[in-house]
A and B are shown apart, each in its own frame.
Chain A
Amino acid sequence: MPEQAPLALLLASSVHDIKNSLGMLIGTLEEVVRSTPIRDQTQRHQFATLQGEAARINNALMSLLGLYRLQQEQLPVRVQEVFVADFLDEQIAANQLLFGMRGLNVRLHCDPQLCAYFDPNLIGGIINNVLVNAAHYARGGIVVSGAREPDELVINVQDDGPGFPDKMLDDVCNHQRGIDFASGSTSLGLYFAREIAQLHRRGHQCGRIALSNLEGGGGCFSLWLP
């Protein structure tokens, strides 16, 4: 029997190929959507589903690949100066079409001069994942905010959907237990988000994430970076 390549490596390189194809698919889809006038609500809904699901697959693959690199100690963190408002604005722009199709009103609250230090690629992946997820559940709007708490940057993504199930809130709060993969499809992204947040350190502080439900309904994802 021929020698077998390690499964993890095989998976990682396949994921990489799939990601490239998916990139082309998303790009073409975007061009089609841009150049096609929407006929009716059904078609609007179909476009939204196409885009939303393609984005979710892409995010899931990105998390998988990221976790694999993390295990192989091949995920470098490039901390640099980032203007938070620009950064968040860009994450929203990346999903502009999706939000438009879903008829969502997305607002950004952030001081344009607010500046922080983190890896914009890695954190961008997390925020994008959260936004696509929020777009899936939100009814009418999403609010993204960035602010400085004394020693940290905090980014919140709030939606007006049904909120997170209790099981998920529990999992993310309980750091000792880790995240239960059986509980739902978003767990992979959250797990990755937590790992990436923790890679951002300053002195004794390190980044963290949290989920909460808002009093008037809706869910909130929070990310703190030192």
Chain B
Amino acid sequence: MQKIDLIKIYQRKTALVIDDFPDMRGTIRRMLMNFGVAAVEIAGSGDEAIAFCENRAFDIILCDYNLGDGKNGQQILEELRYRGLLKHTGIYMMITAETTKSMVFGALEYQPDDYLAKPFAQPVLQKRLDRLMLEKAVLFDINQAMDKQDYARAAALCEQLGTEAGRYEQKSLRLKAQCCLKQGRIAEARAIYERVLKERPLDWAQIGLGRCLMEMGELDQAESLFRQLIDQKCLCLEIYDCLAEIQCGKGDIFAAQQLLEHASEISPNAILRQQLLAEISQSNGDWERAEKAHRKIVRLGANSCYESPENYFNLARCIATQMRRDDTGNSRRLKEAEEVLERARRRYRDDEQVRLQTDLISAELRARAGELESARHILAAARDRIGDEAPATAVTLGLARAFQALGDRATAQRLLQELTERHPHDEAIGQAVDRLSDEPLSRKGKEEAVLLNSQGKQLLAAQQYLQAIALFGQALRHYPNNIALKLNLLLALVRQMNIGGANANQLRRCTRLIENIPPLAADHPLHERLHVLWDHVDKLSEQLRAATENSVA
């Protein structure tokens, strides 16, 4: 394209420069204006930049990766994409000081169009931008279809472009595979990635292939592919998320938690990963780790697209769950959790639903801390405000939790039962209810429980304990309060150690499980089973201790 044409194109573009150094912002801005860009805005922080993008769409965004204490360039990119504030037809260029371990590459979907290393001369920036503009012009229809989330059309357009794509052939293959994955056309995506990998081990194709293998249930193959990428020192943290998902699929949520912890250490500010880490740590009964993650989520969520009262509620409940009867730390924990709730009240001052939920959690907290009277008092006041009409789902769930904490499991169970009956076809509600309930109440949950039970029995009978551990471990993520399930997992772990010897990791898992089972009355149908298993665990702990002492001696 002729230079004069490019100037005309630049004149129609709008640009945003994000850098925390005013001098640098000014320099880059002047460069863009020299190219002919008419409107160049500047922002000094991620929050400022996002506020700009909420008001208008920019054609070109140049963003420094390292912006001091606030969001980094990758997080800004992710938030803009996630919220649809950055079009695929636009250009996002990341400016970097260096490539080191401290710089993290986003998931495939969240990668910038280009990286530009500092310091750079004006003609270099111009050449890069010229080329990107040409590319965006050739791929305009495809990118536009992706913006409209019409992935079928985007994939078809890539196909149509075919060999015409010329130098953009690889780019268009990459986009096509991405669209196929989005649409569940896994075999097609896989074929593309395999074709590319035949020539070169490119990381985007390796990760893509790994994702396909996961979708196809080939977990072992996917795992070895991702392990290989880690050996190659690939810095894309999506790998760890995928590996964690694979471990979950295999039922080893302990390993999954370790992987996510590792990735969070490298990049502590990725909120989606923190959410997954919180959820998985909770499933593992590791409430301390979960609390850490929830705190991070509250902090990172503030003023972002992930801001939600749920973030505060989850943190408060997580603190509450760590309260034990007659524990001296309880009053401190209660205070901490109340502070979190107070912040939620202030933040959502005018939202009655949020205030109701906050009060119900407050009742739950007090009940757990043993302050039964004030818990009952708060609960009664909240119920008065709710009145006779059926409350919102979240409020009903909050009521059920409060009753559970007060030891009134019958009322809690009745509330949950009624909720499922009111929404028999709502899977999300069914799942939420089943998470709280001692046993699944939703239709789907009941069906799954029957299936799980028979599969589990078969595995136990066939002495395939590791598979049984995987099966029950995975199910527990969906039914974390299901006592029978916990006992089954406990049983599988104990039997495995009976043949394979006591093992510290598995014993820790057993102890966590037992700690997280509520006290069962002597006439509870599962009471005896729990105590038999408990004795086994104690014996195994004893064995392990003796073995360690011997080896030390």
Task: Decide yes or no whether A205 CB sits under 8 A from chain B.
Answer: no
Q: Are A76 and B233 in contact (CB under 8 A)?
A: yes
Residue of A nearest to B114 (CB): A120
Residue of A nearest to B117 (CB): A121
Q: Are A79 and B202 in contact (CB under 8 A)?
A: yes
Q: Which residues from chain B contact A28 at a C-beta distance below 8 Å?
A: 23, 27
How far does the alpha carbon of A196 sit from the alpha carbon of B121 in the complex, in Å?
Answer: 23
Interface residues of A toward B: which range? 35 or more
**Prevailing SS type, chain A contact patch:** helix
A175 CB to closest chain B CB (Å) equals 24
Binary interface profile of B, 100-142, with partner A (CB < 8 Å = 1, else 0)? Answer: 1100000000000001011111111011100100000000000
Q: Which residues from chain A contact B167 at a C-beta distance below 8 Å?
A: 83, 113, 115
Residue of A nearest to B196 (CB): A81
Q: Which of B100, B124, B201 contacts A90 (CB 8 A)?
A: B124
Q: Are A76 and B119 in contact (CB under 8 A)?
A: no
Known: A22-B119, A113-B167. A16 touches B127 (CB 8 A): no
A83-133 contacts to B (CB < 8 Å): 83, 86, 89-90, 93-97, 113, 115, 117, 121, 124
Q: Are A19 and B202 in contact (CB under 8 A)?
A: no
How far does the alpha carbon of A80 sit from the alpha carbon of B202 in the complex, in Å?
Answer: 7
Q: Which of A24, A76, A78, A202 contacts B23 (CB 8 A)?
A: A24
Residue of A nearest to B122 (CB): A30
How far does the alpha carbon of A208 sit from the alpha carbon of B27 in the complex, in Å?
Answer: 37
Q: Are A78 and B124 in contact (CB under 8 A)?
A: no
Q: Are A74 and B121 in contact (CB under 8 A)?
A: no
Binary interface profile of A, 146-174, with partner B (CB < 8 Å = 1, else 0)? Answer: 00000000000000000000000000000
Task: Decide yes or no whether B200 CB sits under 8 A from chain A.
Answer: yes
How far does the alpha carbon of A202 sit from the alpha carbon of B232 in the complex, in Å?
Answer: 13
Q: Which of B21, B99, B122 contacts A76 (CB 8 A)?
A: B99
Residue of B nearest to A89 (CB): B127
Q: Which residues from chain A contact B119 at a C-beta distance below 8 Å?
A: 22-24, 26-27, 58
Task: Decide yes or no whether A69 CB sits under 8 A from chain B.
Answer: yes
Q: Which of B23, B99, B115, B127 contacts A93 (CB 8 A)?
A: B127
Residue of A nearest to B102 (CB): A74
How far does the alpha carbon of A158 sit from the alpha carbon of B21 in the complex, in Å?
Answer: 39
Binary interface profile of A, 50-69, with partner B (CB < 8 Å = 1, else 0)? Answer: 00000000100000010001
Q: Are A74 and B101 in contact (CB under 8 A)?
A: yes
How far does the alpha carbon of A75 sit from the alpha carbon of B100 in the complex, in Å?
Answer: 6
How far does the alpha carbon of A78 sit from the alpha carbon of B24 in the complex, in Å?
Answer: 27
Q: Are B124 and A76 in contact (CB under 8 A)?
A: no
B85-103 contacts to A (CB < 8 Å): 97-101
Q: Which of A30, A31, A73, A97 contacts B233 (CB 8 A)?
A: A73
B6 CB to closest chain A CB (Å) equals 15
B20 CB to closest chain A CB (Å) equals 12
Known: A22-B119, A69-B100. A76 touches B234 (CB 8 A): yes
Q: Are B27 and A93 in contact (CB under 8 A)?
A: no
A38 CB to closest chain B CB (Å) equals 18
Q: Are A20 and B97 in contact (CB under 8 A)?
A: yes
Q: Which residues from chain A contact B120 at a C-beta distance below 8 Å?
A: 94
A152 CB to closest chain B CB (Å) equals 14
Q: Which residues from chain A contact B186 at a C-beta distance below 8 Å?
A: none
Known: A76-B235, A121-B115. A93 touches B97 (CB 8 A): no
Q: Which residues from chain B contact A74 at a C-beta distance below 8 Å?
A: 100-101
Binary interface profile of A, 4-20, with partner B (CB < 8 Å = 1, else 0)? Answer: 00000000000010011
Q: Which residues from chain B contact A113 at a C-beta distance below 8 Å?
A: 166-167
Q: Are A90 and B128 in contact (CB under 8 A)?
A: yes
How far does the alpha carbon of A13 sit from the alpha carbon of B64 in the complex, in Å?
Answer: 19
Q: Which residues from chain A contact B123 at a C-beta distance below 8 Å?
A: 93-94, 96
Residue of A nearest to B170 (CB): A81
Residue of B nearest to A93 (CB): B123
Q: Are A78 and B203 in contact (CB under 8 A)?
A: yes
Greatest chain B CB density within 10 A among A19, A22, A31, A90 is at A90
A148 CB to closest chain B CB (Å) equals 14
Q: Which of A30, A86, A124 contacts B127 (CB 8 A)?
A: A86
Task: Decide yes or no whether B30 CB sits under 8 A from chain A.
Answer: yes
Q: Are B98 and A65 in contact (CB under 8 A)?
A: yes
Residue of B nearest to A98 (CB): B121
How far does the alpha carbon of A115 sit from the alpha carbon of B98 in the complex, in Å?
Answer: 24
Q: Which residues from chain B contact A69 at a C-beta distance below 8 Å?
A: 100
Q: Which residues from chain B contact A94 at a C-beta distance below 8 Å?
A: 120-121, 123-124
How far does the alpha carbon of A96 sit from the alpha carbon of B121 in the complex, in Å?
Answer: 9
Q: Are B202 and A27 in contact (CB under 8 A)?
A: no
Q: Which residues from chain A contact B200 at a C-beta distance below 8 Å?
A: 79, 117, 202
Greatest chain B CB density within 10 A among A19, A22, A78 is at A78
Q: Which residues from chain B contact A86 at a C-beta distance below 8 Å?
A: 127, 131
A159-205 contacts to B (CB < 8 Å): 202
How far does the alpha carbon of A11 sit from the alpha carbon of B124 in the complex, in Å?
Answer: 30
How far does the alpha carbon of A200 sit from the alpha carbon of B101 in the complex, in Å?
Answer: 19
B438 CB to closest chain A CB (Å) equals 49
How far does the alpha carbon of A69 sit from the alpha carbon of B117 in the complex, in Å?
Answer: 16
B443 CB to closest chain A CB (Å) equals 49
Greatest chain A CB density within 10 A among B24, B98, B127 is at B98
Known: A22-B119, A113-B167, A121-B117. A16 touches B124 (CB 8 A): no
How far does the alpha carbon of A76 sit from the alpha carbon of B99 in the complex, in Å?
Answer: 7
Q: Are B24 and A19 in contact (CB under 8 A)?
A: no
A209-224 contacts to B (CB < 8 Å): none
Q: Which residues from chain B contact A73 at a C-beta distance below 8 Å?
A: 233
Q: Are B202 and A30 in contact (CB under 8 A)?
A: no
Q: Which residues from chain B contact A89 at a C-beta distance below 8 Å?
A: 127
Q: Are B234 and A24 in contact (CB under 8 A)?
A: no
Q: Which residues from chain A contact B122 at a C-beta distance below 8 Å?
A: 30, 34
Residue of B nearest to A117 (CB): B200
Q: Which residues from chain B contact A79 at a C-beta distance below 8 Å?
A: 200-203
B binding-site residues for A, Cβ under 8 Å: 21, 23-24, 27, 30, 97-101, 115, 117-124, 126-128, 131, 166-167, 170, 200-203, 233-235
A binding-site residues for B, Cβ under 8 Å: 16, 19-20, 22-24, 26-28, 30-31, 34, 58, 65, 69, 73-81, 83, 86, 89-90, 93-97, 113, 115, 117, 121, 124, 202
Selected A-B contacts with CB under 8 Å, 22 pairs: A20-B118, A23-B118, A28-B23, A28-B27, A30-B122, A31-B30, A69-B100, A76-B233, A78-B203, A79-B201, A79-B202, A80-B202, A89-B127, A90-B124, A90-B128, A93-B126, A94-B123, A95-B121, A96-B123, A97-B121, A113-B167, A121-B99
Closest 7 CB pairs of A and B: A23-B119, A93-B123, A74-B101, A26-B119, A76-B233, A94-B124, A94-B121
Known: A73-B233, A86-B131, A94-B123. 7 other contacts (CB 8 A): A23-B97, A31-B30, A58-B119, A75-B99, A77-B233, A95-B121, A113-B167
